[in-house]
A and B are shown apart, each in its own frame.
Chain A
Amino acid sequence: MSITTTSPAETGNSTNWPEWFRKDQNEAWDLYESLPMPKRNDEPWRFANLKALDLSEFQPAKPVEDKAVLIARSSGLADLAAKLVFANDALIHREVAGLPAGVLLLPLEQAATEHEELFRKHFMSTEARLGSKKFAALHRARLRSGAFVHVPRGVVIERPIEIWHWVEGENATIFPHTLIVLGEGASVTVIDRFVSSRDERSLAIAVNDLTVGTNAKLHYVGVQEWSDKATAFHINTTEVERDALSTALQMNLGGAYVRGESDSHLLGEGSRSVMLSINPANGTREIDQRTFQDHFSPRATSDLLYHNALADSSKTIFAGLIKVEEAAHETDAYQKVRNLMLSDEAEANSMPGLEILADNVRCTHGATSGELNEDELFYMMARGIAPKQAAQLIVRGFFGAVLEHLENRDLQDHLGEILDHKLNL
Chain B
Amino acid sequence: MSTETKPDIDIDRSVGDFRYEMDYAFDAGVGLTEATIDYISDVKGDPDWVRAFRKEGYRKFLEKPMPTHWATKDLESIVFENIRYYLSQGQIPKRTWDEVPDDIKRTFERLGIPEQERKFLSGVEAQFDSEAAYSNIKAAVGEQGVIFVGSSEGLKEHPEIFKKWFGKVIPSGDNKFSALNSAVFSGGSFIYVPPGVKVKHPLQAYFRINAQNFGQFERTLIIVDEGAELTYMEGCTAPKFETATLHSAVVELVAMKGAKIQYITVQNWSSNVFNLVTKRGIAHEDAEVKWIDCNIGSRLTMKYPGVVMKGKGARGEVVSIALAGDGQHQDTGAKMIHAADNTTSNIISKSISLGTGRSTYRGMVHVPKHLKGCKNNTECDALLINTNSRTDTYPAISVRGQGNAVQHEASVSQISSEQIFYMQQRGLSEAAAMSLAVNGFVNDLVQQFPMEYSVELKRLIDLEMEGSVG
Contact = CB atoms under 8 A, between A and B. Distances in A.
A417 interface: no
B137 to A, nearest CB: 45
Contact of B393 (A339, A353, A369): A353
Interface in A310-365: 326, 329, 339, 341-365
B393 to A, nearest CB: 4
B211 interface: no
A384 interface: no
A238 B400 CA distance: 32
B384 to A, nearest CB: 6
A376 interface: no
Interface stretch (A38-46, A159-167, A186-194, A265-273): A38-46
Instruction: Sort chain B's interface into a size bin.
Output: 35 or more
A386 interface: no
Given A339-B399, A358-B387, A359-B389, A351 B394 contact: yes
B388 A41 contact: no
Contacts of B408: 350, 352, 365-368
Contacts of B454: none
Nearest to B409: A366
A398 interface: no
A371 interface: yes
A21 interface: no
A343 B400 CA distance: 9
B350 to A, nearest CB: 14
B402 interface: yes
Interface in B25-60: none
Nearest to B391: A356
B393 A344 contact: no
B396 interface: yes
Given A344-B370, A363-B411, A371 B402 contact: yes
A356 B402 contact: no
Contacts of B405: 368-371
A47 interface: yes
Given A349-B396, A361-B412, A341 B402 contact: yes
Contacts of B389: 359
A353 B409 CA distance: 11
Nearest to B366: A349
Nearest to B414: A360
Nearest to A324: B412
B398 interface: yes
B384 A344 contact: no
Contacts of B70: 43
Nearest to A343: B402
Which secondary structure dominates chain A's binding surface?
strand
Nearest to A315: B400
A345 B410 CA distance: 28
Nearest to A368: B407
B70 to A, nearest CB: 5
A357 B394 contact: no
Contact of A349 (B392, B397, B402): B397
B369 A344 contact: yes
B403 interface: yes
Contacts of B400: 344-348
Contacts of A357: 388, 390
Number of chain A interface residues as a range: 35 or more
B461 interface: no
Contacts of A360: 414
Nearest to B386: A359
B410 A365 contact: yes
B413 interface: yes
A341 B399 contact: yes
A353 B395 contact: yes
A97 B410 CA distance: 47
B289 interface: no
B412 A367 contact: no
A311 to B, nearest CB: 10
A331 B111 CA distance: 44
B69 interface: yes
B406 A42 contact: no
B401 interface: yes
B394 A356 contact: no
B180 interface: no
A346 B392 contact: no
Given A359-B386, A367-B407, A354 B412 contact: yes
A41 B64 CA distance: 13
A322 to B, nearest CB: 9
B89 interface: no
Contacts of B401: 341, 343-347
Contact of A354 (B388, B393, B398, B402): B393
B392 A354 contact: yes
Interface in B399-437: 399-414
Give 7 closest A-B pairs by Cβ, nearest first. A344-B401, A359-B387, A354-B393, A341-B402, A369-B399, A371-B402, A363-B412
Given A366-B410, A369-B367, 18 more contacts: A41-B69, A326-B388, A341-B404, A344-B400, A346-B402, A348-B400, A349-B396, A350-B396, A353-B395, A354-B391, A354-B412, A355-B391, A355-B392, A356-B384, A356-B392, A359-B387, A369-B407, A370-B404
Interface of B: 69-70, 367, 369-370, 382, 384, 386-414
15 contacts: A343-B402, A345-B401, A346-B400, A350-B396, A352-B410, A354-B394, A356-B390, A356-B391, A359-B386, A361-B412, A362-B412, A364-B410, A364-B411, A370-B407, A371-B405
